[in-house]
């Protein structure tokens, strides 16, 4: 890894990298919304132990109600079908 043209690993004391690599990393995520859950998932994929703190009774509650229950996911259909199924204001 290089930064500013200097080798960062050469700056550290010998054996220091090994100790950091062997440690199990822990991540605390505050908030179980969309961003918090994505952070937790990415951290877990990276091998970290993850704890999520959420004040609501269930995580992702607001995500589930967005888009009138359709979760605003990408659709694999024609533009006409999307427009016909998109609610409009009166």
In this predicted model, what pLDDT tens digit does every residue of 35-62 receive, in sequence order?
999 999 999 999 999 999 999 888 888 7
pLDDT score of 50: 96
| Helix then strand then coil, % of the chain, to nearest 5 | 40, 15, 45
The answer to whether the beta carbons of residues 1 and 9 sit under 8 Å apart is yes
- Measured over the CA atoms of residue 71, residue 77, residue 82 and residue 85, the dihedral's sign is negative
pLDDT score of 63: 76
pLDDT score of 87: 75
Residue 72 neighbours by CB under 8 Å, 6+ apart? 66
Residues 63-86: what's their mean pLDDT? 72
């Amino acid at each position: 890894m290089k930064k500013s043209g200097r080798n960062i690993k050469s700056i550290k004391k010998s054996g220091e990298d090994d100790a950091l690599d062997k440690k199990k990393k822990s991540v605390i995520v505050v908030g179980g919304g969309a961003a918090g859950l994505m952070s937790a998932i990415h951290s877990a994929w990276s091998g970290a132990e993850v704890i999520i703190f959420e004040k609501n009774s269930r995580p992702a509650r607001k995500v589930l109600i967005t888009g009138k229950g359709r979760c605003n996911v990408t659709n694999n259909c024609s533009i006409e079908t999307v427009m016909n199924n998109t609610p409009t204001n009166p």
